[in-house]
Amino acid sequence: MITLKTFDKAVYDTIVRATTTIAPDIDKAFRDALDKEHEGLGKVALETTYENVQFGVDNKLLVCSDTGWPLFFIKLGEDAKLEGGLSGLEDRCRKMVAKATEDAYLRATVKHPITGYDTGNNVGANVPAFTYHIVPGSSIEVIYVSKGGGSECFGGTRYQVLGFADGVEGIEKFVIESYISGCRAGKICSPSLIGVGVGGTADISAKLAKEASSLRTIGSRHPEPEIAALEERLEKAINMLGIGCFGLGGSQSVFCVNVEYAFSHIGGIAVSVGASCCITRRATTVINDDNTTEIKLVPDWFEGR
Amino acid sequence: MATYHLQVPLKDEEIRKLRIGDIVFFTGEAFTTRSKFQRYIFDQGHEFPFSLKGRNLLIHCGPVVIKEGGKWKAVSFGPTTSIRFEKWGPKSIKNWNLKCIIGKATMGESTQQAMKEYGCIHVSMIGVTSNLGLSQIEIKDVFLKDEMGSIEAPWLVQCTDYGPFLVDIDTNGDNYYDTMDEIFKQNKKKAFEYLNIPEDFDYTKLY
């Protein structure tokens, strides 16, 4: 059985790791982009941002000020046992979010949307949010995503229903135009990790877009060749736009475009575009039944899709 | 494109000679704001909580601040997206006698007009600088912390060669990012060509 002591520590450490370090695939994407970007303010912005990240990692400071929405993605082993029962899992996570906020590893960023009431600890109605996959085994895998507000609030997230008549061109046009308007003046901190959710209901497509942007490893490709080809084409096309880091111009406009899909109603195709910041913050820990824990460097959320 | 090291209080004649694309650094006092404080002052009509004399540099920022040995210390200090405060742009410039707003992601038409009228500029950080800026700013004071919360309260800070920042709106009312928009518009044609999207392609009007 996983004790609360083990669980709490693992969750807390995962949150802190997400906001004060950078995952290896994102680190590599920065370094690759720096190699390919040769001049101009976009290059300066990329260098500065990477330096800011490294300063944060070296000094255990936030790699970006805006720690955003606290999001948990949990792969729950079907035989997992948590001290006090699995129904207490979310409450423990909420407590760790509050503790991490108190310790300044999260900025107290979320509050009541109407009254402005601020708990000061990032815990409130429906936040933090939880998404589950039930998997074989007795471990609990906790993925924590610190979802930045820039990419979420300023045009990094778009939704539209297209006709089947619009086809792949329609999807591609929507992605390109969404990204251009979202990136104006560095609103969404490009080069982004773009997620595209195609098909399903509005919420399914938005969820797929969010997970594709925040949880897919950079450089991974969708296993279906048609979808992988769409990802490659979109990446190439977006990098032709010259948006660069923070909309300041350059060849490195996007770190990746990840497409996930759900079967669509014959009436129309829901398409969502989601963006995650160049400093995408995510961390993963596997908590085993014998109370050992393992850090996973990249999540494999879409494994077995 | 030139680089300037400016002293606060910012002088009208110095600000008016800056042009979009210039790079600036600031030394002297500045204060922070986000939405809640501007709503409190401009929409709810409360009195401004401290003297604005000699303080004409505003930073759009919600810092992370801790208390260490009885003293406030910023552990993350990054300018934030200014466009969301567009509603209060002209009022903040006029009522607070601002000469410069530091932020990110520029501001809109009404603020550009006000900047032209009152001689104010907007500057943006070049990349994320929330940690790199820590050695350039020192927290001096905070006001209305209980009412506003730590992130949205106005913090008074001392800047030491704080920068670099890019001038993106100048006192002519020109915007640096309008020039970028033109480039993206041209490149969009190339991207659409690559994707074989016809120029006259339009979505089926489903709603």
Nearest-CB residue to B128 (from A49, A104, A187): A49
pLDDT > 70 in chain A, percent: 100
Question: What residue of B is the nearest CA neighbor of A178?
Answer: B188
Residues A93 and A110 reside in one and the same domain:
yes
Residue B104 per-residue DSSP state: B
Residue A276, φ and ψ in degrees, nearest 5: -120, 145
* Cβ within 8 Å of residue B14, ≥6 positions away: B4, B6
Question: What residue of A is the nearest CA neighbor of B75?
Answer: A61
CATH number, residue B98: 3.20.130.10
Structural domains counted in chain B: 1
Question: What residue of B is the nearest CA neighbor of A115?
Answer: B36
Cβ contact B191–A56 (<8 Å): no
Residues A70 and A109 reside in one and the same domain:
yes
Does residue A219 sit at the B interface (CB-CB below 8 Å)? no
Kindly report, residue by residue over B32-69, the tens digit of the pLDDT: 999 999 999 999 999 999 999 999 999 999 999 999 99
Cβ contact B127–A64 (<8 Å): no
Residue B196 falls inside a structural domain: no
Give B166's pLDDT tier (boundaries 50, 70, 90).
very high
Torsion over CA of B167, B173, B177 and B182, rounded to 10 degrees? Answer: -140
Task: State the CB neighbour count (10 A cutoff) for residue B166.
Answer: 25
pLDDT for A304 beyond 90: no
Cβ contact B76–A246 (<8 Å): no
Residues A178 and A140 reside in one and the same domain:
no
pLDDT > 90 in chain A, percent: 97
What ipTM describes this predicted complex? 0.94
CATH number, residue A112: 3.30.1330
Nearest-CB residue to A48 (from B129, B177, B201): B129
* Cβ within 8 Å of residue B88, ≥6 positions away: B38, B42
pLDDT > 70 in chain B, percent: 100
Cβ contact B128–A62 (<8 Å): no
Question: What residue of B is the nearest CA neighbor of A270?
Answer: B206
* B178 contacts on A by Cβ (under 8 Å): none
Question: How is chain B split among helix, strand and coil, in percent rounded to 5?
Answer: 30, 30, 35
Question: What residue of B is the nearest CA neighbor of A60?
Answer: B75
Residue A121 falls inside a structural domain: yes
Q: Which of A55, A65, A106 to mutate to test the interface with B (most CBs of B within 10 A)?
A: A65
Residues A226 and A264 reside in one and the same domain:
yes
A219: region left, alpha or beta (phi > 0 left; psi from -120 to 50 alpha) = left
Q: For position A194, what pLDDT does the model report? A: 97
Residues A74 and A202 reside in one and the same domain:
no
Does residue A109 sit at the B interface (CB-CB below 8 Å)? yes
Q: For position A248, what pLDDT does the model report? A: 96
Pick the closest to residue A172 from B206, B180, B205, B193 (CA basis): B193
Q: Which domain holds residue B28?
A: 3-175
Residue A187 falls inside a structural domain: yes
Residue A139 falls inside a structural domain: yes
More confident: A157 or A235: A235
Residues belonging to chain B: 207
Structural domains counted in chain A: 2
Residue B25 falls inside a structural domain: yes
pLDDT for A303 beyond 90: no
Q: How far is A259 from chain B (nearest CA, A)?
A: 16
Residues A263 and A238 reside in one and the same domain:
yes
Q: For position A227, what pLDDT does the model report? A: 98
Residues A104 and A171 reside in one and the same domain:
no
Residues A83 and A97 reside in one and the same domain:
yes
- At A7, list the tokens: 């669980």
Distance of CA A226 to the CA centre of its chain: 24
Burial status of residue A115 (CB atoms within 10 A of its CB: 0-12, 13-18, 19 or more): exposed
Pick the closest to residue A237 from A229, A227, A246 (CA basis): A229
- Distance (Å, whole) CA A54 – CA A120: 28
Q: For position B112, what pLDDT does the model report? A: 98
* B191 contacts on A by Cβ (under 8 Å): 176, 237-238, 240-241
Q: How far is A153 from chain B (nearest CA, A)?
A: 10
Place of tokens 């997230």: A157
N-term to C-term CA, chain B: 47
Nearest-CB residue to B132 (from A52, A186, A233): A52
Torsion over CA of B142, B146, B149 and B152, rounded to 10 degrees? Answer: -50
Kindly report, residue by residue over B80-131, the tens digit of the pLDDT: 999 999 999 999 999 999 999 999 999 999 999 999 999 999 999 999 999 9
Residue A244 falls inside a structural domain: yes
Residues A171 and A202 reside in one and the same domain:
yes
Question: What residue of B is the nearest CA neighbor of A167?
Answer: B203
- Distance (Å, whole) CA A195 – CA A71: 16
Q: For position A156, what pLDDT does the model report? A: 84
Residue B89 falls inside a structural domain: yes
- For chain A, give the DSSP string: -B-HHHHHHHHHHHHHHHHHS--HHHHHHHHHHHHH--SHHHHHHHHHHHHHHHHHHHHT--SSS---EEEEEEEEETT--BTT-GGGHHHHHHHHHHHHHHTTSS------TTT----SSS-BTTBSEEEEEEESSS-EEEEEEEE-HHHHHSSS-EEEEE-GGGHHHHHHHHHHHHHHHHHGGGTT-SSEEEEEEESSSHHHHHHHHHHHHHHSPTT---SSHHHHHHHHHHHHHHHTS-B-GGGS-BS--EEEEEEEE----TT-EEEEEEEE-SS-EEEEEEE-TTS-EEEESS--TTTT-
Residues A197 and A210 reside in one and the same domain:
yes
* Cβ within 8 Å of residue B62, ≥6 positions away: A65, A66, A107, A109, B32, B34, B80, B151, B152
Average pLDDT for residues A108-130, to the nearest whole number?
Answer: 96
Residues A144 and A154 reside in one and the same domain:
no
Cβ contact A65–B192 (<8 Å): no
Cβ contact B151–A160 (<8 Å): no
Kindly report, residue by residue over A198-237, the tens digit of the pLDDT: 999 999 999 999 999 999 999 999 999 999 999 999 999 9
Cβ contact B180–A248 (<8 Å): yes
pLDDT for B189 beyond 90: yes
Residue A130 falls inside a structural domain: yes
* Cβ within 8 Å of residue B64, ≥6 positions away: A62, A65, A104, A107, B74, B75, B76, B77, B150, B151
pLDDT for B184 beyond 90: yes
Q: Which domain holds residue A105?
A: 4-21+63-148+281-296
Cβ contact B183–A44 (<8 Å): no
pLDDT for A188 beyond 90: yes
Residue A220 falls inside a structural domain: yes
pLDDT for A155 beyond 90: no
Nearest-CB residue to B194 (from A109, A118, A240): A240
Residue B65 falls inside a structural domain: yes
> Diameter of chain A by CA atoms?
57
Place of tokens 């959320």: A301
Residues A167 and A290 reside in one and the same domain:
no
Residue B187 falls inside a structural domain: no
Q: For position B41, what pLDDT does the model report? A: 98
Residue A58 falls inside a structural domain: no
Question: What residue of A is the nearest CA neighbor of B63?
Answer: A65
pLDDT for A93 beyond 90: yes
Residue A93 falls inside a structural domain: yes
Q: For position B1, what pLDDT does the model report? A: 84
